[in-house]
Each structure stands twice: as C-alpha cells, then as structure tokens.
Structure 1
Amino acid sequence: MKLITQDKFVNKLSLANPIHFLALGFGSGKAAKAPGTFGTLAAVPLVLLMQQLSLMPYLLITVLSMLAGFYICDKAAKDMGVHDHGAIVWDEVVGLMITMIAAPAGFVWLLLGFVLFRFFDIIKPWPIRWLDAKVHGGFGIMIDDVLAGIFALIGVQLTVYYLT
C-alpha cells in the first residue's frame, strides 16, 4: 500500500522549504489517501498545545495562522502550478484551530470538533461550496475551510451549551 503520494505536482514542493512544509501540513498533505483528513490530524497536537493558552493568545495565533495561510497556500499552489491541490492542507490545520476556539479540553470535545470540521469540509454546505468554486488564490483555498471551521465551532459550542 502506497502511503505517500508520488504526484508530480506534490513533488514540486520541498519539506525543506518552510512555506511548503506549512502548506503540506508538516508533511501530512503528502498522504496518498485522504490528505485533508491527515492534515486535520496533523493539527491535533498544535490544538492540544494551544488549548493550554487563555482565549486571547489562542485567538491571536489562530488569526495569524489564517492570515499567513492566505500567502502560504497561494505560494504553494503557484509553485505546484495547481489551484487548491489536495496536498495543500494548511487550510485544514487552521480550520481545526477555528473549530476548537473556546472548546473544553478533553478527548471527547476534540473528537467532536474533528468530526464536525471534517463533515463540513467534505459536505461543503452553502455557502462553503459556492466560495470553494468562485473564490481563487490563497484566500480561496483558505476561505472554505475557515467557514467549515466556523460551522463546526458553532456545532461544538451548541453541544457544550446543551450538554454541560
């Protein structure tokens, strides 16, 4: 079974390049199957570390990661010569960070956030699907996952509200 893709476009990126390393979700985007899911998994240790912070530093890191992501994803897409290639997963990393804003610590909450984020990222309900199709460049690569993260954030927070 092939674990790492040999895609000619992905091979244009180098993990030694810090921009490519981040765009590929610390290398997780090179997964031969389900790179978006592996990119989201790669975000888990980062989110666990960030959950030790108070809300304001968490938000600051998340916003800076999102803003940097506009450039990171755009640069990687241009270097690959493909818009929004599946291996570019920094948007998934940021999406999970958004999902877990102010979520309680704990495996169950992280699992819920992970599942909800992947659900909204894969299903792409309106307006996520529309943005994914109409908006291009680094902003376009990021915005659908940002919105999926917001949808999942709302789902996590509603669950917290009703169950705790």
Structure 2
Amino acid sequence: MIEVKNNRTPLIQKLATFLATGLYVGYSPYAPGTAGSLLGIIIFYFLPSTNPLLYGIILFFSCVTAIWIVSIAKASFPTKDPSPIVCDEVVGYMVSVFLIPFSIFNAIILFLLFRFFDIVKPFPIRAIDKKIENSFGIVLDDIAAGIYANALFHLLRKFAVL
C-alpha cells in the first residue's frame, strides 16, 4: 500500500501565521519588527484611548491572543523567535500607548521609545528574551518594552520635556 502524505497546511496554521506576521507585514525584507510596530500606529489610531476600561480589556485579550497565535505560528518557522512574527511588536506598541490620547506626535514619540527599548532590551527585558523561550516569552519581552516606553513617556510629560 502506498501512503499519500498530506502536505497542505491546516487553515488554523495559515490564519495564525497571517495574524502573527501582522497581516504579512512581518515579511518585510527590511526591519520587520519596525514594520510591525508601524502597524501598531494604525491600530493606535482606532483604539478607544478615551475609555481606559475598554482599552484595557482590548489590550488584555490582544496579549492573550498574541501568545496563542505565536504558539501556533512558530511551527511554520525554523527559529525560536522568528523575525516575521510581529504581532508581539504590535501588542508591545499597544502597551506603550495605554492611557495616552492619540496624536501624531504621541504616536511617533512612543514608536521611537518602544523601538528603542525593544532593540536595546535593558534589564529585565533581555533576561525575559533569553530565559523564556516559548510563545509567552516572545510576547512578554515586547510587553515589557511597551511598559518601559509608556513609563518614560509619562515621566517626560510630567517634567515638561515633551
């Protein structure tokens, strides 16, 4: 008997990869993480920043969903933290803009702060990135970078630097 192998990717895998790559933005040949963060700016524009409770609920479910999506989509890539997966950058950017009203200025400053912390990875972000090698860790280091960006933004605002 000849065994026929089914090489088709299941629909859930395709959908997870589509979402995890930020609607395929993560396949950008140049700086896919930055491209994913730029997608976050578009999402920021549409988020209900004037309703902290609703935003918090959306943010919580976005984080949980990102972890789940990454856990499925990772199977399509050979590395532990595949660069095409950018939903973690989107969620991290969403964290960075929490409780901040949308404006082009705020969006750009927070984009720069978030990318800085995501790339430099100050303590404990680098430790999270190195020690937690699953989908939770992939998303958590970007959430931490978003928290740092948000906190620094609020400090700069408080001291009238921005």
**TM-score normalised by L of structure 2:** 0.87
State the alpha-carbon separation in 1 of the partners of residues 16 and 99 from structure 2: 28
Which one of 154, 158, 162 corresponds to residue 161 of structure 1? 158
Give the counterpart of 1:117 among 114, 118, 122: 114
Aligned partners of 1:155, 1:32: CA distance in 2, in Å? 30
Q: Do residues 55 (structure 1) and 15 (structure 2) align?
A: no
Runs of 4+ in 1 over 6 A off after TM superposition: none
What is the aligned-residue RMSD (CA, Å)? 2.0
Unaligned segments of structure 2, at least 5 residues: 1-8
Do the aligned residues in 2 keep the contact of 1:103 with 1:156 (CA within 8 Å)? no
Distance 1:51 1:108 in 2: 17
Residue of structure 2 equivalent to 1:107: 104
Matching residue of 1:80: 77
Q: 1:30-49 residue pairs with structure 2 within 5 A?
A: 30-49=27-46
Where do 5+ consecutive residues of structure 1 fail to align? Answer: 1-11
| Alpha-carbon distance between aligned partners in 1 of 2:146 and 2:115, rounded to the nearest angstrom | 9
Could you tell me how far apart the structure 2 residues matched to 1:30 and 1:152 are? 25
For the residues of structure 1 that align with 2:36 and 2:64, how far apart are their CA atoms?
18
Residue 83 (structure 1) shift: 1.3
Q: Which residue identity does 2:130 align to in structure 1?
A: A
SS in 2 for 1:17: helix
TM-score by length of 1: 0.86
Aligned residues between the structures: 152
Amino acid at match of 1:155: L
Name the SS for the 1:104 alignment partner. coil
TM-superposition CA deviations, 1:85-119 (whole Å, max 9, x none): 11110000001100000113211111110000000
Partner of 2:92: 95
Aligned to 1:145: 142
8 Å CA contact retained: 1:26, 1:42: no
C-alpha distance in structure 1 between counterparts of 2:54 and 2:157, whole Å:
21
